[in-house]
Structure 1
Amino acid sequence: MTNSIEEILNTDAMFVIGSNTTENHPVIGTMIKRAKKKGAKLIVADPRRIELANYADVFLQIKPGTNIALLNGIMNVIIERGLQDKAYIEERTENYEELERAVKDYTPEVVAEICGVAAEDIIKAALIYGEADKAGIYYAMGVTQHTTGTHAVMSISNLALLCGNVGKESAGVNPLRGQNNVQGACDMGGLPADLPGYQKVFKPEVVEKFEKAWNVKLPTKIGLTIPEILDEADKGNIKFLYIMGENPMVSDPDINHVRKSLKSLDFLVVQDIFLTETAELADVVLPAASFAEKDGTFSNTERRVQRVRKAIKPVGDSKPDWQIIMELMNRLGYTKRYNHPSEIMEEISGVTPQYAGIRYERLEEEGIQWPCLDENHPGTIYLHKASIARGRGLFMPIEYTISAETTDAEYPYIFTTGRILYHYHTRTMTGRVEGLNQISSESYVEINEITAMKLGIAHGEKIKLSSRRGEIITTARITDIIEEGVLFMPFHFAEGAANYLTNTQLDSIAKIPELKVAAVKIQKLGS
């Protein structure tokens, strides 16, 4: 997030797109409700009538995969009405003329046809955002998990820059991270091209810095993303895989492909707190300690580095992740040893500029938001205050393109996925909680009542869903919160898993699969 969670309370307008915030990020969802109660305006864009739609000043129930068209349409109206921040654009941005040309043809009427919403609502949303002094955009995987996900994020940036909402308190561009330490994993180099602090592996000065710090020779080749790794394993080009705290046999698209890829490996190691569906395929399982059994830090969605404190001793033979990795690297010949995670944090601060001033003793009472440049620095509440990090904010004109897979006569329904309040990711933990399973214990698919009536499907009936990649049996849940011709399914459940159906086509830039749009057919199973 460019901004902070608390800042939501003092915003003038909120634009939530591709995020079921109250279910997937309930703390932030509560902040949005509180801001609304204080008088802030709320725009919601989502293929489902999520809870926040009930609080919205305007709700745009868009077709899955049409985010960019909607964003371009909103910018079209803002420019046509003269609501753009001209002084900000002149002083702090570049390439504005190209953006203006790019969105010129995205009139509300054109965009309404693409997105399946009313032109009047697009105009209303544009006026709310454009007229607000402080407006924040909040988005999640409903924006990113498309073949055009990177371009959609660029479009969000375009809109924020257009109205001067980058580098301003209670505004900004705010991606809501999907899991508790995704931000921290990325910060520490858990990306194919990055070393800690987003320092690039292909830059000689960066490699030299880390080689000196670690006293070891480092590779300079960019690595592969998870989908690329699985593809290469399927081809026989990757022989060994080490998976930590991830369950691709439920979470990744085209599970049949995932299983084939993992079984093609010569050797698979899985490190996790329970025997997951993925761990069942492993040659070796390394039992890891849970969050309650270890010390360390998590970095949350607002860039806040927070202490994690051990409450109980690790159960059985399990060990903290850092200790497992250290012992493994020692046996492989790298003899560096750590006695406590605080020593690792010292090393992090020495090589990662954003973390330079973060020490365990400073985290005793409260977390610190990076960048924190030295031990006297208080941390950074919101980014780009003095100037845009790259110098000037760059407008990136983006054209709308359709999803990689569209409906046809054989597969006539749009299938999209997401999460629900009661379960976390692949249910590795929540699936073992009796109370949560009493509320939600099995796979289901939401079907519009008109679609269900046409097919003669009753609420609670078992049906078969098929895509070009696989098929599942699940339970029909008839509802009016999803549009006719669109199906929604939570991806948490291993039995009748949504990801047997989803598409592996990738965003060409970020290499994220198009999990949010697939074409499927429905089959009644009868008695």
Structure 2
Amino acid sequence: MEALHLTIDGRRQTVAPGTTVLEAIRQAGIYVPTLCDDPDLKPFGACRLCLVEIEGMRGLPTSCTTPAQDGMVVWTENEEILRMRRIIIELLLANHPQDCLVCPKAEECELLKVANYLGADKARVARLRRGRLDRPVDDSTPGFVYDPNKCILCGKCVRACQEVAFVGAIDFAYRGQKTIITPFWNQSLLESVCQSCGECVARCPTGALTIRESLPATRQVETICPYCGVGCGVRLGVRQERIVRVEGVRENPVSRGELCVKGRFGLDFVHSPERLATPLVRKENIGRLAKPPDPRQAFREAGWEEALELTANALQGLIHEYGSDCLGVLSSAKCTNEDNYVTQKFARAVLKTNNVDHCARLCHASTVTAALAAFGDGAMSNSISDFEKADVILVIGSNTTECHPVIGRRIKRAVQEKGAKLLVADPRAVELSDQAELFLNHLPGTDVALLNGLMNRIVELKLHNRRFIARRCENYEAFAESLAGYTPEVTEATTGVPAEKIQRAARILGKAKRLVVAYGMGITQHVTGTDNVKAVANLLMLTGNMGRLGCGFAPLRGQNNVQGACDMGALPNVYPGYQRVDNPEVKAKFELAWGAILSDRPGLTLTEMIKAAHTGSLKGLYIVGENPMLSEADLNHAQEAMARLGFIAVQDIFLTETAALADVVFPSACFAEKEGSFTNTERRIQKVNRALNPPGQAREDWRILSDLAALLGRPFAFANSAEIMDEIASLTPIYGGISHDRLGLRGLQWPCWNRRHKGSAMLHKGRFTRGRGRFHVVHDRPPAELPSAEYPLLLTTGRILEHWHTGSMTHRSRVLETLAPESRIEINPQDAAELGVTEGDTLSIKSRRGQVRSKARTSRRVRPGQTFMAFHWQDAPANSLTNPSVDPVANIPEYKVASVKAVLDVLDLAAENNAFLTALSENPAGILNDYDLSPEHRLALLNLDFDKLQEWVGPLNERLRLWLHDRLAKEKWVETE
């Protein structure tokens, strides 16, 4: 379309069609005051300060809501415009508190700036002032405060909540002078659906919304959020070596200035008093399984020289006695690319073993394995921005709005503003399922059956992309033949999804012009994880939705640098850039570069290391920034395995559950205290910048390993992290053009082949990395463990919005810990009623592997017979229950399906704790036979004589009486049957 030509204050200005008059004025470099305008929000015209004169148009229209038209003549200021603006601002000031000297927003208050610019008259404001400003302040949320007395009703907060966060927690209520902004039913923000993301606070032009405990910063540093794999840009405001405020970075192409509750309010863990500041060495008289009240009591402080020498001697001694492969190294998805590169180099070039792995083994190992086989690259094919270009989005096995909130917003925007159709497939109803065109609520562990059933219909309806398949794919015939048995009726019987829904979903997917399939650990953490991902790849190739804008393969990475840790070769079978360790040419290249003889034998995966430690073949572990003692499946077995190791060294920022088992603990620098880079879920390598000094004697992770390598006779010659990236680029083709000086605020997406290359927003354009995309035949297989009479409930695990991974960081954040202070198990109301459970009761949950206690949350988001727990809590470790059975290809455990039983925790209801109630809660079916009861008390139980029982077990409250009556009545009924 042709450009538009306007005259603004006598100057000629050319703008693109669709531009508003206000945007045209700003492009001309002219200031117009406004309090309700925001580049992220739709024009609203609430404050009316941006009114202008347009020749030929009646009145003074608001420039923010007026589209620019060719030939317009606009005047931004004259006496009439200035008079009207003064009246508006004086009316606002007349209803505003006059506490500017102590208002937290004083230095950046837009209302104050506009009032000064317009020359508001103090006397007129005083005459206009009426009544008292005494509306109650809402300070219910731990992150920010809402003072409605300072609200000017600009609506920015309402629109940000609706148009940026897509939550809609607040809105205008009442009318006229009584108008306020409030959550539904005028409840507090904490009681509402508010997610505490702070997008409203970031945009408020006055002191109505202010962050608690925030001070002006003396300097600012742009870096990357240390939480999920989205890779949001954060600007850290620093003052006296403390982070005093956090803002989003608008120039960041991933987050575009947005943040979630963790990114905005969850970075205070950096200053936790629990940060490690000196090396620790285990005291000789305290064993690894000893549990003193304070874990630090098991250690003594040591100097760096002593701790490093002790570690070097222990590692050398084990290698001398048992060989290099007796050791294992765990790298970290929380650490930078440079840290991970040095970690795997330390394992291979110094310890001489390929036993190196990291937490991708527990989340997306099946993605890497399957996507490499299908496409030739084990990563997201397109960019996060492609969600908003898609016309159909399938989200399967991902609670996106809680685990990847900013991507969740992109999906919501695509649906609500761009008209995309959303399909959600998940055993549990997640937030996105409320927005979906179709919600496919399939049974856990039936993902292959569901996807094959959808593809069966696509082929039967002839909606598959035959041209794409013929030109770019292989093995289609065998694959198509394998779909024959997955009719809608058979698929319904397997998955629980109605056949009619399967037919409708297949039509939507088959007719999609631009389809994105996003998934998370709901797909990968199964014994069929690799098959699940291959089925996702099959669907995308079947419909031809690869290698174009607005479509593609979108595995959502869980940790901030899990993609980068994989890229850096923190895996047992590949060097950096997925170059295989058993390829002679690759091995020779790295031997030449590192000056070392390397092993060509793929090493042990993380799950294999735990098994090897249990059997005794693995003697030592060196762990960098990971916490397997909360993240491993079957934690009791994992703890036994760790206890059998001859030596454990850990470097971390806190004394985690894993560090508490170590012989030596090194204090590390966190993300805000180091230089380097993270690679996010869309393959974007972004610069991490140092804002603070590490506490005490803490050091960057790569420096600790370099110091240790020098003691072991293999010094690394790195002066800084930039030099490490230069070495990475020299040996890793997909990072060939990456250097710190090129990353800036936008980063670069790999593959980036050389210094002239601009990076790759898209993979597989024109051809797949492996040549032709390969269809794989995959069939439905049941989970390793199914519900039984003894364990009738099916448990699945995951994350919640407020916490992250094993909680080592988020549990040390005041806001996040206040918002979600304790573990909850979701249970369907029907199951709760059968168990006699109400909201907030404590349940004892038991599997074949362990037992935990957690409070109940009754929710219809889980279907009857299913439960859900997050794994973030040390006092309720969900992974004590989960199944260690692994995918035979990727070695990833089946976290998403475990059989459990749940009973009301009687001890929580009893007035006194005693052995009888303990036994009764654990074994109600056998209590009469297995427990040593006196004849008198046995008779009392059989007759439900509560008065007699009280003499023995102590006071019984009414709740416990009812529970006993129900339990024992059932026992007698069973006996009579």
Aligned counterparts of 1:365 and 1:310: Cα–Cα separation in 2: 14
Determine the structure 1 residue equivalent to 2:386.
7
Q: TM-score, normalised by structure 2?
A: 0.54
Determine the structure 2 residue equivalent to 1:19.
398
Specify the code of the residue in structure 1 equivalent to 2:571. L
Determine the structure 2 residue equivalent to 1:244.
624
Determine the structure 2 residue equivalent to 1:142.
522
Determine the structure 2 residue equivalent to 1:355.
735
Matches for 1:173-188 after TM superposition, within 5 Å: 173-188=553-568
RMSD value over aligned CA atoms? 0.8
Specify the code of the residue in structure 2 equivalent to 1:228. E
1:438 paired to 2:842: no
Specify the code of the residue in structure 1 equivalent to 2:634. D
For structure 1, list consecutive stretches of 5 or more residues without a partner in the other structure: none
Determine the structure 2 residue equivalent to 1:297.
677
Determine the structure 2 residue equivalent to 1:108.
488
Aligned counterparts of 2:876 and 2:737: Cα–Cα separation in 1: 47
Aligned counterparts of 2:453 and 2:828: Cα–Cα separation in 1: 27
Specify the code of the residue in structure 2 equivalent to 1:112. E
Determine the structure 1 residue equivalent to 2:725.
345
1:521, distance to aligned residue in structure 2 (A): 0.9
Determine the structure 2 residue equivalent to 1:60.
440
1:299, distance to aligned residue in structure 2 (A): 0.5
1:336, distance to aligned residue in structure 2 (A): 2.4
Of 199, 208, 215 in structure 1, the residue corresponding to residue 588 of structure 2 is 208
Determine the structure 2 residue equivalent to 1:490.
870
Instruction: Give the number of aligned pairs.
Output: 527
Determine the structure 1 residue equivalent to 2:693.
313
Per-residue CA deviations over 1:471-499 (Å, capped at 9, x if unaligned) read 11111111111100001000111111100
Matches for 1:399-410 after TM superposition, within 5 Å: 399-410=779-790
Per-residue CA deviations over 1:262-296 (Å, capped at 9, x if unaligned) read 11001111111111011111110011100000000
Of 405, 408, 415 in structure 2, the residue corresponding to residue 36 of structure 1 is 415
Specify the code of the residue in structure 1 equivalent to 2:798. G
Aligned counterparts of 2:577 and 2:547: Cα–Cα separation in 1: 21
1:365, distance to aligned residue in structure 2 (A): 3.5
SS in 1 for 2:686: strand
Q: Say whether the 8 Å CA contact 2:650–2:665 is kept in structure 1.
A: yes
Determine the structure 1 residue equivalent to 2:602.
222
Determine the structure 1 residue equivalent to 2:827.
447
1:349, distance to aligned residue in structure 2 (A): 0.4
Per-residue CA deviations over 1:438-492 (Å, capped at 9, x if unaligned) read 2211111100001111111111111111111011111111111110000100011
Deviates more, 1:361-370 or 1:136-145: 361-370
Specify the code of the residue in structure 2 equivalent to 1:79. V
Specify the code of the residue in structure 1 equivalent to 2:733. P
Aligned counterparts of 2:777 and 2:548: Cα–Cα separation in 1: 23
Matches for 1:91-106 after TM superposition, within 5 Å: 91-106=471-486
Aligned counterparts of 1:324 and 1:45: Cα–Cα separation in 2: 44
Determine the structure 2 residue equivalent to 1:513.
893
Specify the code of the residue in structure 2 equivalent to 1:356. G
Determine the structure 1 residue equivalent to 2:249.
none
Deviates more, 1:359-368 or 1:150-159: 359-368
Specify the code of the residue in structure 2 equivalent to 1:20. N
Per-residue CA deviations over 1:355-408 (Å, capped at 9, x if unaligned) read 001111111232000000111111111100020111111100111010000111
Identity percentage of aligned residues: 49
Determine the structure 1 residue equivalent to 2:457.
77
1:166, distance to aligned residue in structure 2 (A): 1.5
SS in 2 for 1:463: strand
Aligned counterparts of 2:715 and 2:871: Cα–Cα separation in 1: 41
1:119 paired to 2:515: no
1:437, distance to aligned residue in structure 2 (A): 1.6
SS in 2 for 1:190: coil
Aligned counterparts of 1:151 and 1:168: Cα–Cα separation in 2: 24
Determine the structure 2 residue equivalent to 1:268.
648
Determine the structure 2 residue equivalent to 1:254.
634
Task: List structure 1 runs of 4+ shifted beyond 2 angstroms.
Answer: none
SS in 2 for 1:504: strand
Determine the structure 2 residue equivalent to 1:378.
758
Of 838, 843, 847 in structure 2, the residue corresponding to residue 467 of structure 1 is 847
For structure 2, list consecutive stretches of 5 or more residues without a partner in the other structure: 1-379, 910-977
Per-residue CA deviations over 1:146-169 (Å, capped at 9, x if unaligned) read 000001000000000001112122
Of 389, 393, 411 in structure 1, the residue corresponding to residue 791 of structure 2 is 411
1:114, distance to aligned residue in structure 2 (A): 1.1
Specify the code of the residue in structure 1 equivalent to 2:529. G
1:525, distance to aligned residue in structure 2 (A): 2.1
Aligned counterparts of 1:197 and 1:180: Cα–Cα separation in 2: 18
SS in 1 for 2:894: coil
Specify the code of the residue in structure 2 equivalent to 1:199. Q
Determine the structure 2 residue equivalent to 1:280.
660
Determine the structure 2 residue equivalent to 1:86.
466
Specify the code of the residue in structure 2 equivalent to 1:16. V
1:335, distance to aligned residue in structure 2 (A): 2.1
From the superposition, tell whether residues 365 and 447 of structure 1 become closer, same or farther in structure 2 (CA, over 3 Å).
closer
